[in-house]
Structure 1
């Protein structure tokens, strides 16, 4: 028996309708190709990876995560954390593929395979295999047990039931609700020795991807969940709804409501970023033209605007340049005061110069606050 899908109330249906309106608007705006689309998607993917891993205590900058995604060595992140990031990035990349696959069904083997991608570098934790015994979640500060998963001998049957539900259950429910319940049931079953939280969040993204809600990087709420205050609320509602032991009963509406709010807030944020991207790009394009620089260098300036730094290899790959061309462009941008170089050889990167810092400061003062849809 799994935790049941709750009936929605009028307030929840109103929030769902607003989420759908924002989704349609985003889909319409994304239908038109822009030069900044690729970088925006990459940044959203990196922020989703950052959010989900930070919940588990694995913290890395967006810039380092983008380097790991590109197969490069990060500048600051430790090797152990880099492995966690790379594993999760591999799983999310596969989820993007599965979201578009013409033939697809959920099965237990898929879930085990995704878990192996996430924690395969921890061979001592039986990646991709059901845990052999009980599992206890402890408070990181006090050490007290806050949740006890179901007995190990129940896990195979529960996973079979979950997969059956993923394929056929509650098909008349809104996709956002089904995705939330998939997340909740998997994290409460806690079938593996490690990676359960990240797997549950990834499964929520996959359910939405299969429903063609949006490209995974635009529908994921992992970035939102990774914020410190939201993470605390996330654990609180999991504890409130699920209790201290496995027991599929009670009202799951508070959990679904929490997820709907997260989708709404993240959709607002993505919509703002999409609008800002166009404004920033055009502004930088005007500045580059005025300085007599090559128009392609707007790509480098945009990357530095949205992130803290840029590496030559990233710009070179984005624009399909030779090493010499990329180096010359960045040197010209530094000479004009747009970029400030730091470090040498492989460790060299470019941060905002004084002119870029002024533009970033202007935009920072124009942030529009997000609206809580339940208030």
Structure 2
């Protein structure tokens, strides 16, 4: 027996409808190919990866995650954090591919274990990709000696994961995709089938289910960035404890968990919408400013991340603008000489930030706005 879907009330259905309205607007906005879309997608993927790993104590900046995604040495993240980020990046990349795997796609225990190995393969002593063989406890944040949750016995893991896989393929097909994905997350994290990495795997599974259902691309539909914000992380642990119980108790009411996830999706959709609108505005302003100087429009690919993400690396510019190393270096040197970029760091650690000569019209200015809680309406 698994934790079961709750009955949704009219407030839940209203929130689901509002989420769909926001996402439909995003689908329309993204339908036409745009020069900045690739950089936006990478940035959103990096935000999701950073958020999910931050929850587990492996904090890295979004800029560092983007560097790791492109095979560059990060500026600030250490070796241990970089290994965790790289493992999660591999799994997320595969999830993005599985979004288009076709109708013959099926969930399986082998798929779950493969994703887990991608994430945790650098911890061979923890048996990545294999079910745990012993007891596992989720400790209390306030007291590591106290078990906040005790997972099912290791002998029950094969049968519980088999039941979950069967449900992933065929269970509750009429339920909203966001609700099914939330329940997959809850059940996998409650089964806790591996010795480590269960939280990240559960969040990744939720993202995979949404990708398979066509709820935008994974980078636009994941709630991992939202969950990684400190206040939301605390709430995340609290609602998991309240709904899941201190031990495996699948007959408990799961409505609070589903409502928590729907709120997360609504607020993350608001965040992504703002990010897309800001990206479009900044790119347009940069385009006009670069054209005014008579520079080639490829330089937008150097200036955009410096404005939006806070820095750009030479190797990143090469990839995004499809340039040789020499051409990328010449362009960056010209932008530095014009004081539109400022060079920082040395040798392999060099990066570029927005310079003092950058026109005011293209500087990123945001008026802070609170996210709306859809359940307060």
TM-score class, shorter-chain normalisation, is over 0.9
1:152 aligns with 2:157: no
Q: CA deviation at 1:368?
A: 3.3
SS class of match (2:374): coil
Give the match for residue 373 of structure 2.
Answer: 372
The range that moved more, 349-358 or 325-334, is 349-358
Match of 2:215 among 213, 216, 226: 213
Q: Check the 8 A contact 1:149/1:246 in 2, yes or no.
A: yes
Give the match for residue 244 of structure 2.
Answer: 242
Give the match for residue 278 of structure 1.
Answer: 280
SS class of match (1:350): strand
SS class of match (1:51): helix
Give the match for residue 3 of structure 1.
Answer: 3
In the alignment, the residues of structure 2 paired with residue 260 and residue 18 of structure 1 have an alpha-carbon distance, to the nearest angstrom, of 10
The one-character-per-residue Cα deviations of 1:254-285 (angstroms, maximum 9, x if unpaired) are 00000000000011111111111111111111
In the alignment, the residues of structure 1 paired with residue 362 and residue 187 of structure 2 have an alpha-carbon distance, to the nearest angstrom, of 42
Q: Check the 8 A contact 2:307/2:363 in 1, yes or no.
A: no
Give the match for residue 109 of structure 1.
Answer: 110
Residues 274, 80 of structure 1: alpha-carbon distance in 2 compared, 3 angstrom cutoff:
same
The one-character-per-residue Cα deviations of 1:172-192 (angstroms, maximum 9, x if unpaired) are 000000000000000000000
In the alignment, the residues of structure 1 paired with residue 361 and residue 47 of structure 2 have an alpha-carbon distance, to the nearest angstrom, of 23
Q: Check the 8 A contact 2:286/2:362 in 1, yes or no.
A: no
The 5 Å alignment of 1:78-157 reads 78-102=78-102, 103-143=104-144, 144-157=146-159
Q: Check the 8 A contact 1:294/1:329 in 2, yes or no.
A: no
SS class of match (1:213): coil
In the alignment, the residues of structure 1 paired with residue 13 and residue 116 of structure 2 have an alpha-carbon distance, to the nearest angstrom, of 33
Q: Check the 8 A contact 1:68/1:86 in 2, yes or no.
A: yes
The one-character-per-residue Cα deviations of 1:228-263 (angstroms, maximum 9, x if unpaired) are 000000000000101111110121010000000000
Q: Check the 8 A contact 2:60/2:81 in 1, yes or no.
A: yes
The one-character-per-residue Cα deviations of 1:301-334 (angstroms, maximum 9, x if unpaired) are 1111111211111001111111121111111112
5+ residue gaps, structure 2: none
Residues 255, 359 of structure 1: alpha-carbon distance in 2 compared, 3 angstrom cutoff:
farther
The range that moved more, 84-93 or 59-68, is 59-68
Match of 1:331 among 325, 333, 348: 333
1:171 aligns with 2:192: no
Q: CA deviation at 1:344?
A: 2.1
Residues 358, 228 of structure 1: alpha-carbon distance in 2 compared, 3 angstrom cutoff:
farther
Corresponding pairs, count: 374
Q: TM-score, normalised by structure 1?
A: 0.97
In the alignment, the residues of structure 1 paired with residue 357 and residue 168 of structure 2 have an alpha-carbon distance, to the nearest angstrom, of 52
Give the match for residue 60 of structure 2.
Answer: 60
Q: Check the 8 A contact 2:289/2:359 in 1, yes or no.
A: no
Q: CA deviation at 1:292?
A: 2.6
What RMSD, in angstroms, separates the aligned Cα atoms of the two structures? 1.3
Match of 2:316 among 314, 317, 332: 314
Q: TM-score, normalised by structure 2?
A: 0.97
Q: CA deviation at 1:356?
A: 4.2
Q: Check the 8 A contact 2:185/2:202 in 1, yes or no.
A: yes
The one-character-per-residue Cα deviations of 1:66-118 (angstroms, maximum 9, x if unpaired) are 11111222122111111100111101111111111012000111111111111
Q: CA deviation at 1:164?
A: 0.5
The one-character-per-residue Cα deviations of 1:138-197 (angstroms, maximum 9, x if unpaired) are 123411210100011111100000000001100000000000000000000000000000
